[in-house]
Amino acid sequence: MIQMEQTWRWFGPDDPVSLNDVKQSGATGVVSALHQIPHGDVWTTEDILKRKAIIEQKGLRWSVVESITVHEDIKTRTGDYKKYIEHYKTSVRNVAHCGIPVITYNFMPVNDWTRTTLSYSMPTGAKALYFNWVDLAVFDIYMLKRKGAAASYDDSIQQQAEHRFKTYSPGQLEALSGVVMFGIPGEKKITTADMLRKLDAYSHIDRAALQENLAAFLAEIAPVAEECGVKLAIHPDDPPFPILGLPRIVSKMEDFDYILKKVDIPANGVCFCTGSLGASAANDLTAMVKAIGNRIHFVHLRNVKRDAVGNFFEADHLGGDNDMYKVMKEILLLQQQTKISLPFRPDHGHQMLDDLKKTTNPGYSAIGRLRGLAELRGLEMGILRSLEN
């Protein structure tokens, strides 16, 4: 029976979790990126091989690039987008030349991912990532002061946001702003002025226009990836609904149908993230795995717990609202059909035990992910054994 490849996200030499820690987790593959390289610049073979050598010195494999960031000019098709597309092609070729088989990316405008709390208290005392609509409205309406922001929220959310803004201390408001604009560890932080400027670039870009821009990008990049023998894996929007006035185009099966059929070549594929997609109650994750099939090139496994309003926190990997058993079983059945071992990683994890005393990258402390990987590894073995009978 074909097992999934167990991988671990590592942010590079400055990551508080070392490669020695990664090796002890049981993972054999590493998911990493050159976050020090500015968005849009070329990843040189020299830089890639330097990182690859560091990983391989520990007896590990660089299995997936996550991510080569898509420059905002490409997403808006303005400014120097043609130059940045050529740079992206060169980076894809260089990654392929260095023997890394999968490149993950996303097409989320402005913010790579969004939460409102990085230390939501669980009943156990562990800390989790959390998204709350009222807090987002507080930031959007009263701190960012985006034009027309209030219209993005229903009356109840607006009223609660007004009250919450008045009761939050300056320190709480500053912390909220920092969380919403947190971005990716190792990359340059932005200010509210930066965000407003970036949002303004999307003022005339609706869902259809952004879809067309993604299709145009893939029409250029996917053939290069196919020629080089590397696979592209688009990550879903996180969270999978419009925020800050921005459209979302990688949030549901309809979106994946568009992406995969518009540029219908094997290299053009999906990073199937159960946490991002599972934050929407409308998504049937098991049905989506069946529908996307062999165009899934990489898997993120994590869980979320939603409430009726759509707020969610990141739950235990085998807890929450996503049926991880059904999802993993469908992925494992897919692997037996394709004869391909898909790389997966435990996505995010609670800050717990000794990690509560440490400075960690939010969602990427060691012990919480170690627990998640252990649970997922056990679930996988149980499913595979049952398939043998």
Residue 185: pLDDT over 80 = no
Average pLDDT over residues 20-29: 96
* pLDDT at residue 188, rounded to an integer: 74
Nearest CA among 166, 116, 150 for reference residue 314: 116
Look over the chain and give the mean of its residue pLDDT values, rounded to a whole number. Answer: 96
Average pLDDT over residues 371-378: 98
Residue 187: pLDDT over 80 = no
* 44 token code pair: 């040189």
* pLDDT at residue 34, rounded to an integer: 97
What's the rounded Cα separation, in Å, for the pair 354 and 23?
19
pLDDT-above-90 percentage for the chain? 96
Domains of the chain, CATH where assigned:
5-114+206-388 (3.20.20.150), 117-194 (no CATH)
Confidence grade of residue 112 (pLDDT, cut at 50, 70, 90): confident
Nearest CA among 389, 386, 384 for reference residue 2: 384
Structure confidence by residue, pLDDT tens digits, 337-349: 999 999 999 999 9
* pLDDT at residue 186, rounded to an integer: 66
Letter string b/e over residues 3-26, b meaning 16 or more CB atoms within 10 A of that residue's CB:
ebbbbbbbbbeebebebebbeebe
Structure confidence by residue, pLDDT tens digits, 216-226: 999 999 999 99
* pLDDT at residue 182, rounded to an integer: 86
Residues designated catalytic: 235, 273, 300, 347-348, 364
Structure confidence by residue, pLDDT tens digits, 135-173: 999 999 999 999 999 999 999 999 999 999 999 999 999
